[in-house]
Amino acid sequence: MPPAPPARPTLPLAAARRIWLGAQCLDRPAPFGAGAAATPAVVAQLGYVQIDTIHVVERSHHHILWTRIPAYERADLHRAQSVDRTVFEYWTHALSYVPAKDFRFFLPAMRRHRAAPAKWFGAVTAADMRKVLTLIRDNGPLTIRDIDDDVLVEKDHAWASRKPSKRALQMAFYNGDLVISARAGMLKTYELTDRHFGWEARPRPATPRQVLDYRIDRALRSQGVVSLDSICHLQPSLKPVIRPLLEARAKRRQLVELRVEGAGDTPHWAAPETLETIPDPKAALVHILSPFDPLVIQRKRLEQFFGYAHRFEAYVPKEKRLLGYFALPVLAGDRIVAALDLKTDRAAGKVLIQQWNWIGDASPVSDKPAIEDALQRFEEFQLAK
């Protein structure tokens, strides 16, 4: 009878939290310094920064960057995207900023999209595509506002546009023919991808195996301790092909398979050097987090590691909301201590607290002063030009 496999070691929950916070660069002040170079450095560390349209406070991409770059300026992201071209927009689990050096890992998805477009692009004709590509090739980058359409069509998907040229622009973007070369709020400027990056030849597309390894490496870098759920967020179909790669790395002693305290038998993996250098507890920095922050967006993982189940209630009927329309979790050290429903009143020049909810063992006496200091910094960021 073969010997039983060795028991997986158990990582204390407090250690798992510290590893994740360290990987997210939320455990120390200004980890990337200041200046324009900090923005692409954050995107590279996190792997992607999610974009979202909701604007009751500053949009998520700026918010996520400011959380890790206290001296962040919005112009730094414009420079990274449009001038230095060190980041680009594409779909991860949502539309996100991604390091430009990773472009080749997205080329296979672009090819798949070209071969089998999403159903809401079914109305886009070859003539529509030729029109927008020719316009951009001949006249330079443009926005949807630069195109006049005589005919509007009915929507066949909630996110679809009634303007045919917009669908063609979006389809060419997902195909990789166009890139978003600039963004002003939610208004996107489209440019030919190769011309934007100045390529004479495109990067070689990553192989399927390289794409899987990229996903694993991205998760290890930004999470420290990973699981199949955390690597395959919103893409569970990848789990059967990702798991053997993790197990193979563990056999080569590149990873350690372990349990995380409180997460049951769910296997997790970490690099040996990660487990040897677990960050020490530090001063309890306070961060007001976006609900789209990488620490928050994976709700199941957040609850496992922090004991906090965040509810995103922007699309919940008002009478059923518990935390508020756009609640922002507050991180103090390694605890989620509050959820604040905030709204920026730009005309009045202040941030409004719509609702304040204490979480877990948080203390209004000991925790509130530091949160109020963080709110002051948050308000200054919101109102900065």
Q: What is the DSSP string of 97-119?
A: EEEGGGGGGTHHHHHHHHHS--G
Examine the pLDDT at 161 and tell me if it is beyond 70: no
108/270 Cα distance (integer angstroms): 28
Q: What is the pLDDT of residue 1?
A: 54
Banded model confidence at residue 7, pLDDT cuts 50, 70, 90: confident
Q: What is the mean pLDDT of the chain?
A: 93
- Strands 335-345 and 327-332, by their bridges, are antiparallel
Q: What one-character DSSP code corresponds to residue 317?
A: -
210/201 Cα distance (integer angstroms): 20
Q: What is the pLDDT of residue 5?
A: 56
Q: For residue 245, what are the contacts with CB-CB under 8 A and spacing of at least 6?
A: 212, 213, 216
Q: Give just the sign of the alpha carbon dihedral 21, 26, 30, 36.
A: positive
341/343 Cα distance (integer angstroms): 7
158/160 Cα distance (integer angstroms): 6
Please state the rounded mean pLDDT for residues 312-322.
Answer: 97
Side by side, which strands form the sheet with 268-270? 10-11, 256-260, 268-270
Examine the pLDDT at 153 and tell me if it is beyond 50: no
Q: What is the pLDDT of residue 287?
A: 98
Banded model confidence at residue 146, pLDDT cuts 50, 70, 90: confident
| SS3 (DSSP) at 59 | coil
Show the DSSP H helices in 140-224 as ranges.
164-175, 193-197, 208-223
Q: For residue 126, what are the contacts with CB-CB under 8 A and spacing of at least 6?
A: none
Examine the pLDDT at 318 and tell me if it is beyond 80: yes
Q: What is the DSSP string of 220-263?
A: HHHHSSB-HHHHTTT-GGGHHHHHHHHHHHHHTTSSEEEEETTS
Q: What is the pLDDT of residue 159?
A: 44
85/80 Cα distance (integer angstroms): 5
Q: What is the pLDDT of residue 384?
A: 92
How do the residues of the chain divide into helix, strand and coil, expressed in percent and rounded to 5? 45, 15, 40
Please state the rounded mean pLDDT for residues 373-381.
Answer: 98
Banded model confidence at residue 3, pLDDT cuts 50, 70, 90: low
Q: What is the pLDDT of residue 197?
A: 98
Banded model confidence at residue 81, pLDDT cuts 50, 70, 90: very high
| SS3 (DSSP) at 346 | coil
Q: Give just the sign of the alpha carbon dihedral 310, 285, 216, 39.
A: positive
97/108 Cα distance (integer angstroms): 18
Cβ atoms of 328 and 339 closer than 8 Å: yes
* pLDDT higher at 122 or 348: 348
* pLDDT higher at 348 or 163: 348
Helices 13-23 and 208-223: crossing angle in degrees, nearest 10, is 110
